[in-house]
Structure 1
């Protein structure tokens, strides 16, 4: 007989912790397996393109480089992601049943590392240290490029020269008053001129335009103005800069053939030269949501490529012998590709144009292969190519708006309800036209919803009637204005283009009439203060999730997109704005009704920045008119009430010497001191002191009194090459709570 099993109650007690040792690992592995299985099942059943997410990962690495403060952080970021990728091999040994999860853990971190290293490498290669200080004198330089700007009554030159003192080879950008220099010099000429050069300006205030970063990635060490006559010392070799010269000649030819008001718009559509557009027209185009028409991008390139493709297919089909022996779509695609590349080169090869050209070439390739042209994969490949060549473009509004609009268009067109709505059916011509108009309105509305938060984040203003304005403006531009301009240029070869020039001028007048009418409607423009970067990133993450997934899972991104847009739309203006030199101060009245400024002087860069960051229009009010303000020639004292608290401010307005004892006593009675001069250590306000010494380290300030938060320009710059504070090792500015 077999041995009888002992009753459970007769077994010896298990050692303490034995159950945990036996079941703990099993439980954790079971939970891990269930989680991985659910994730694997979701990824395998989602039915989405993997390619776009690779581009998103690459772009995320680029954004991380801009957001992280220093090289140590960048290396740590890359090291952590590489460790995660290595861990995927350990996961592969134990979890062979989850291929999608393993590939995601391996590939996505490596692409994020690649993005971070790509923008870091480009920064090191093209970045140029700025001038150490402003320089005035007589300079000798070689012309690299010429940009006529007749609407601003000046020309802009890109020059190569030696930095005075150090002898370093640098590239600078200078403005030449008047409009005659562009006709007298060519690329390659050596000039001598008297002028003033400045280091590229960092943001004047937190959230303002960062010209220093743009100049860094453009290789510019400085910018300035010519203050005397320009002398041509040596002529360059013939043919130097022929492409730039061709573009200028085309712009000049257009200005001689069309009316003054329409010449700037025509030049922008043909050559991408926006220097001839009047300021009022430019503002009207922005406020009406039509500014994208002035930037040569997807609409213009697709119109040129599409027109050439159709003309070649129809034209070659007229010759039966040729049509029977040549695949007409391939020949037409080749002609369209050549036209797109030529148009991109002539229009200046800006990032939006290059992006559109790459996209057009991919669509032509898809048509030749018999595949769908407009797809998320095409968009992802185009974006990856642009980011690989110009990784810094990911932070700019042009890249974000162009790819955001196309992503919205692709996501909308591939949605099942939209496919059913536009599917062919037996109906009258009138119903088909109404259906197309409805789709055009819906597309414009969705694209406007996508672009409005981007415009608010970068420009602090957005047009509200853009969808309706584009219904009229896009067909007018695509099917009337651009064909008329192309035909007029071709007929000018035989001197017969004047009828088309006249018609083009009339059509451009219609376009500008549409822009000015919509821009002048009540409530046509929304102006809001600067929103936070965090809110914008939440909106972008939600929008990407909405655009890249299929099915119901995509709607998980909607709450994040709405939350990010809502945070941008409800952002409150700072209570106090201080420029980086301390000379320009703005106080926002409670409720955001008015902006009081320290210095008034008509329109200017400083005033525009203060008004934009405060989210206001109209005329600012002099600071000495603040209720209860007490001012003399040296200082102004104010009391700001926020909720139940009172804040006492002392702001410098003069440069005369002030007795130190009197100044120290005034500082003791104040919570905040703001001055464009150096203040002695005996000046100790209750909260913080923003004098010249501190502002040189922190840059401009945005002060929120209710939360006792002070945002500085330095907070968003880190140790990137374009940021050069006076004391680079200075600690982060964080005043103690009052």
Structure 2
């Protein structure tokens, strides 16, 4: 395998950014200038490219500048957090809905407190109880609430909420109510810039079209798929449907990436090339292929901007641009170098994206495809003559299926360590799901959805007619995924591997790639050693763990505990969950914790009397775990989850007469845990755990 300086540069830059997590360098320009003489000296000593030598300190410095940005007069101050404030700002993204809360990404321009008002310029994310109007990017709004620093739940397997906001340059969140937010107007297009204003307008009209009469006959799941693929808006996606996409291994189709941009670019290329052929004299002066390729970049980049320009989208767009530039300059196209250039471009602009799930999964999947390309794209043998018609058809169909099936298998294997680390799960059914989903998305849903949205700008009726086949195909995708989601063990929960374990797995996988055959043995051996080192301590800790063990989960909307008994039973205890809460405790808190402990069965669940399924998160728990028994501290009211009484024989907890709470005993060891209130003795109205 030949050297790829762009890939080497990407690796060193990412390593430098990783070092900044351990010990950030000061972000000032003088820090980097001070490193320059040392880099020049090292370049002379090792006779290597100056850029490669500078890559590691550059990544270190860039990440430090983002992790510890300098304070300034236009930044929010610490003493302004924790108190009621009124902020004015401009929406950096369209308003969205998450867990029944309005979410606003704001560029705050003014903040008002009891001490007065002052001008600021800092990004803040506002979470507001209630439903917001569909405000678009560029809307100027005024919001009242409380500024706070974001914080993570410190439960094993919990989502890194702080890191997610940190990568976007967000230091504060604003908590409030939707009723305390109002629009002050919309920035004129000249303030947004012509290009950005055009994209914002197109996105707003496409979203309105996909939420209007054209989709009135479609199910909410179909509308969610169409909005996700056409404008990159996943807020219409239900948690249940997204869980099915994850469990069946096709969540990647919702992340706008190379497949989506490739479809748009290819269709644009064919259309532009056909237009050029209408005027034969042009073909005598122009290279139709080159000009069509170059012109197709405009709709490709436009679609990338329309869908939000996420990490995987930008990676694909940069690779497409590198490919076209190589074509125009009559240079050989090298996809590995294009991948390296795309990664460097992303990390220079947003260095902390190296820690994001989308960056890691996108680059791992594409790198695997490129390293296995000698096998994937080898020329097939000629079809033998004299075959019967059905044999000829079967052979051609097998060849048509082989390539996408192998690509799906390779990308699933390549992303498995990262998916295990980030989501505590593995799925094996993805290649089968993709056999139907990818063709429907690529040939029907995406092209017709985009075409319908564009035609709707001129004729809503014609756009709705074009959208119908895309809706039918989306419905078929929903049914296909629901069918495969019912397959037993289609997705396995497992503890998140350590960073060392992930590195070991990838070294071993790199050793298996045909493009790296000369280094196969050392890479596989080193990967196996690192994997063994990573796995040994947790296995030893699990084998020697004392039981019973009780874990109290951090959760700011109630109390939840998990008990591992000495006989291997698992008991989940709800010590009170806020009624009416839209936060899905099962999906966001309990499921990641149990997956990290390799739990597959919950033997007993002790439920409160007066909390709904969403607040308890029972839907998510029933999807991912087997629940054997449910218990309640009293007769369940009408409409509540079915459960046995806590006073019945076999209940895992017991009530103590005259006390306000429940007790769990380990009679053999003499251990006990008291779960105090808010349980009250049953009164005339049947009150209980609330």
Q: Please confirm whether the aligned pair reaches a TM-score higher than 0.5, indicating the same fold.
A: yes
Asked if residue 471 in structure 1 is aligned to residue 471 in structure 2, the reply is no
SS of the equivalent of 2:233 reads coil
Q: CA deviation at 1:348?
A: 1.1
Q: CA RMSD in A?
A: 4.2
1:70-81 paired onto structure 2 within 5 Å: none
1:368-383 matches, within 5 Å, as 368-373=328-333, 375-383=335-343
Residue 605 of structure 2 is aligned to residue 621 of structure 1: yes
Q: Does 1:422 align with 2:375?
A: no
Quickly say closer, same or farther: Cα 1:145–1:418, change in 2 above 3 A. Answer: closer
2:418: which partner in 1? 454
Query: Do 1:147 and 1:182's aligned partners in 2 also have CA atoms closer than 8 Å?
Result: yes
Aligned to 1:354: 314
Q: Does the 8 A contact of 2:420 with 2:494 survive in 1?
A: yes
Report the equivalent of 1:529: 495
Number of corresponding residues = 589
Shift of 1:376: 1.2
Change (3 A) 1:589 1:352: farther
Q: CA contact under 8 A between 1:192 and 1:230: conserved in structure 2?
A: yes
Residues 618 and 80 (structure 1), Cα distance of their counterparts in 2 relative to 1, 3 Å cut: farther
> CA 1:640–1:299 in structure 2 vs 1: closer, same or farther (change >3 Å)?
farther
| Pairing 1:53–2:8 present | yes
Contact 2:137–2:200 (CA under 8 A) maintained in structure 1: no
**TM-score in terms of structure 1 length:** 0.70
Kept in 2: contact 1:148–1:155 (CA 8 A):
yes
CA distance in 1, matches of 2:235, 2:506: 32
Report the counterpart of residue 363 of structure 1 in structure 2.
Answer: 323
Deviations 1:287-322 (A, max 9, x none): 111111111111111111111112222332233112
Match of 1:215 among 138, 160, 165: 165
Q: Secondary structure at the match of 2:152?
A: coil
**What is the match of residue 65 of structure 2?**
121
Alignment CA distance shift 1:179-1:650 (3 Å):
closer
- Which structure 2 residues correspond to residues 530-569 of structure 1 after superposition, within 5 A? 530-543=496-509, 550-561=516-527
Alignment match of 1:279 (pick from 213, 216, 239): 239
Partner SS state of residue 66, structure 2: helix
Structure 1 match to 2:459: 494
Q: SS at 2:296's partner residue?
A: helix
Q: Deviations over 1:52-108 (max 9, x none)?
A: 222112111112222x15659x99999999979856755x6xxxxxxxxx538x875
Q: Give the deviation of 1:584 after TM superposition.
A: 4.5
Pair 1:324 & 2:284 matched: yes
Tell me if structure 2 keeps the 8 A contact 1:584–1:599: yes
Query: Deviations for 1:108-150, whole angstroms, at most 9, x for unmatched residues?
Result: 5542222111211232349977967974646242232353446
Aligned to 2:204: 248
**Partner residue in 2 for 1:518:** 484
**Contact 2:433/2:481, CA 8 A, preserved across alignment:** yes
Q: Unaligned regions of 5+ residues in structure 2, if any?
A: 386-391, 579-583, 608-645, 680-690
Q: In the alignment, what sits opposite 2:269?
A: 309
CA distance, structure 1, for counterparts of residue 173 and residue 269 of structure 2: 43
Instruction: For residue 371 of structure 1, report the CA deviation from its aligned partner.
Output: 4.7
Paired residues of 1:305 and 1:336 also in contact (CA < 8 A): yes
User: Could you list the per-position Cα deviations for residues 320-355 of structure 1 after superposition, in whole angstroms to 9, with x for gaps in the alignment?
Assistant: 112112111221122211111111111112222111
Give the CA deviation at 1:444. 1.2
1:384 paired residue number:
344
Mapping of residues 668-707 of structure 1, within 5 Å: none
Distance in 2 (alpha carbons) for counterparts of 1:394 and 1:592? 40
Task: Indicate the residue corresponding to 1:64 in structure 2.
Answer: 19
Q: Which of 570, 573, 576 in structure 2 is aligned with 1:594?
A: 570
**2:575 is paired with a residue of what secondary structure?**
coil
Distance 1:234 1:323, change over 3 A: same
Shift of 1:457: 0.3
Cα distance 1:590–1:349, how it changes in 2: closer, same or farther (>3 A)? farther
CA spacing shift, 1:545–1:339, aligned 2, 3 Å: farther
Where structure 1 has 5 or more consecutive residues not aligned to the other structure, the ranges are 1-45, 93-101, 657-738
Counterpart CA distance in 1 for 2:485 and 2:410 is: 20
Q: Does the CA-based 8 Å contact 1:630-1:638 persist in structure 2? A: no
Q: What are the superposed Cα offsets for residues 193-217 of structure 1, whole Å, 9 maximum, x if unpaired?
A: 4x45442122422442221122223
Q: Could you say which structure has the greater relative contact order, defined with CA pairs below 8 angstroms and 6 or more residues apart?
A: 1
Query: In structure 1, what is the equivalent of residue 48 of structure 2?
Result: 103
Q: Choose from 505, 509, 513 the match for 2:471.
A: 505
SS at match of 1:62: helix
Quote the residue 2:133 is aligned against: 181
Q: Residue 144 in 1 paired to residue 91 in 2?
A: yes
Choose 1 or 2 for highest CA Rg: 1
* Distance across 2 between alignment mates of 1:122 and 1:546: 37
Please state how far the C-alpha of 1:364 moved relative to its aligned partner: 2.1
In the alignment, the residues of structure 2 paired with residue 348 and residue 509 of structure 1 have an alpha-carbon distance, to the nearest angstrom, of 25
